[in-house]
Amino acid sequence: MAQIELKHVKKVFSEKMLGSVVAVDDFNLEIEEGECFSFLGPSGCGKTTTLRMIAGFEDLSEGEIHLCGRPVSIKSKNLYIPPEDRGLGMVFQAFAVWPHMNIFDNVAFPLKVQKVPRLEIKKRVEQALKHTNLTGFESLYPGNLSGGQQQRIALARAIVTNPKVLLLDEPLSNLDPKLRESMRFEIKELQKKFNFTIIFVTHDQSEAMALSDRMMVMDMGKIVQIDTPRNLYNKPINRFVHNFLGKSTFVKVNLRNNKVYPDGDMTQTISCKIPENAAGKEKMVIAARPNAINLNKNTGFKTKIEKRVFLTDCTEYYVKIGSQLLMIQTPHRIVFSEGEECCVEFAETMWYDDDGNAAEEERNRRQLI
């Protein structure tokens, strides 16, 4: 039995000025006990709304949510269990700690609400502080602590009630990159210790990939793909997922008589196998990871180096393929100079329909509301 189950969950917000937005559209989802599951997608795609519906802070427009086999929200039956009775721990993006309470009282708060006896509170707060490396900070106030420490208070408060499920909404996005990485690790360690089920919300793909057993990529209120980080990276189902998970290079191509021509050049072909999903089509987009393109002197599409950038881990070369600029990443030992002639071979490609940028406007609109 899944620990968290969403069935046909939908949420529509009505905005006077901008019309209504379907923030979450027909979500069906099962998350297993002990899983670290990420919601990943650009700003405005519906991550927070989904999490808030699971937590019980937001009503559903349609559908059902079940936790541990128990219904907690069923729209058609008007069933709704309030957040405090759902047995969840939550950490939000903003440092949601109370500035007028010391660290001990901040962490003890949920237990006081539950009317846990005083001695038991002391014991459990001490435990939670120990697991989040805050022992000794009890009598300080949040204002005295750094951003990372404040997020630890929020984490301690989320785990003090021994929840089975932790909901984390971009908990690391206000921290600097180094701290983010170490907190990532700490969250993972906590999960191992307590076997929490975690839903981790983020727009940062490397964070999601580092933490998750499975991830759900979302776009404009829709589930696009659910899979392991590895499968999502290697087998993205569309251009959006491909682009969202790691660096991508796209080339628009025209297909004529089983030959592949880059957009803007009908004199030279790109040599690669045309996959089944391109059969009968005239326009497609080829996608390749920048490190899966072979730059060499003799074989492949002839062009020249437009620009070269040295980075710490690789060299980036920009070359023209027809009318498009293509970015290639190579190890430092492959050396070309700017203006030099070269050839480009696509080692691994994925092919997508050329759906243009029609979705871009809708994405921007969502971020404005």
Which listed option, Mg ion, ligand ADP, none, makes contact with residue 289 (CB within 5 to 8 Å by class)?
A: none
Judged by CB, which is closer to ligand ADP: 175, or 260? 175
Judged by CB, which is closer to ligand ADP: 55, or 270? 55
Near ligand ADP by CB under 6 A: residue from 266, 325, 347, 369: 369
Piece in contact with ligand ADP (CB under 6 A), picked from 13-21, 118-126, 285-293, 327-335: 13-21
Judged by CB, which is closer to ligand ADP: 221, or 300? 221
Number of residues in contact with ligand ADP, rule: CB under 6 A?
Answer: 14
CB of 312 to ligand ADP, least distance (A): 31
Instruction: Name residues contacting Mg ion, limited to 195-214 (CB under 5 A).
Output: none
- Whole-number Å distance between alpha carbons of 278 and 276: 5
Residue with token string 């062009």:
303
Which listed option, ligand ADP, Mg ion, none, makes contact with residue 21 (CB within 5 to 8 Å by class)?
A: ligand ADP
- Pairing state of beta strands 249-256 and 70-74? unpaired
Structure tokens at 236: 């993205």
User: In the complex, which residue's CB is closest to Mg ion?
Assistant: 48
Could you list the beta-strand ranges (E) of 180-273. 197-202, 214-219, 222-227, 249-256, 259-262
Which listed option, ligand ADP, Mg ion, none, makes contact with residue 366 (CB within 5 to 8 Å by class)?
A: ligand ADP
Near ligand ADP by CB under 6 A: residue from 12, 13, 214, 255: 13
CA neighbor of 70 nearest in space, from 165, 156, 133, 2: 2
CB of 43 to Mg ion, least distance (A): 7
Near ligand ADP by CB under 6 A: residue from 4, 6, 9, 21: 21
**Neighbour count for residue 12 (Cβ, 10 Å):** 14
Tell me if 361 contacts ligand ADP by CB under 6 A: no
**What are the backbone dihedrals phi and psi of residue 43, each rounded to the nearest 5 degrees, phi first?**
-55, 135
Report DSSP letters for 11-30, one per residue: EEEEETTTEEEEEEEEEEEE
Tell me if 23 contacts ligand ADP by CB under 6 A: yes
Instruction: Name residues contacting Mg ion, limited to 30-49 (CB under 5 A).
Output: 48
**Neighbour count for residue 218 (Cβ, 10 Å):** 24
Amino acid at residue number 249: T
Piece in contact with ligand ADP (CB under 6 A), picked from 15-23, 78-86, 145-153, 337-345: 15-23
Helix, strand, or coil (residue 261): strand
Judged by CB, which is closer to Mg ion: 40, or 108? 40
Instruction: Name residues contacting ligand ADP, limited to 34-53 (CB under 6 A).
Output: 41, 43-49
Q: Please list, in sequence order, all residues whose beta carbon lies within 8 angstroms of the beta carbon of residue 243, skipping any fewer than 6 positions away.
A: 250, 287
Judged by CB, which is closer to ligand ADP: 41, or 300? 41
Give, in degrees to the nearest 5, the angle at Cα 11 between 10 and 15: 150
Judged by CB, which is closer to ligand ADP: 94, or 369? 369
Could you list the beta-strand ranges (E) of 32-114. 36-40, 62-67, 70-74, 79-80, 88-91
Which listed option, Mg ion, ligand ADP, none, makes contact with residue 215 (CB within 5 to 8 Å by class)?
A: none
Tell me if 167 contacts ligand ADP by CB under 6 A: no
Within 13 Å of residue 175, how many CA atoms lie on the same side as its CB?
24
Judged by CB, which is closer to ligand ADP: 121, or 220? 220
Which listed option, Mg ion, ligand ADP, none, makes contact with residue 46 (CB within 5 to 8 Å by class)?
A: ligand ADP
Judged by CB, which is closer to ligand ADP: 122, or 363? 363
CA neighbor of 98 nearest in space, from 108, 89, 111: 108
CA neighbor of 288 nearest in space, from 260, 265, 309, 256: 260
Judged by CB, which is closer to Mg ion: 64, or 170? 170
Report DSSP letters for 143-199, one per residue: GGS-HHHHHHHHHHHHHTT--SEEEEESTTTTS-HHHHHHHHHHHHHHHHHH--EEE
Give me the residues that bind ligand ADP (CB under 6 A), please. Answer: 13, 15, 21, 23, 41, 43-49, 366, 369
Residues in the site for Mg ion, rule: CB under 5 A? Answer: 48
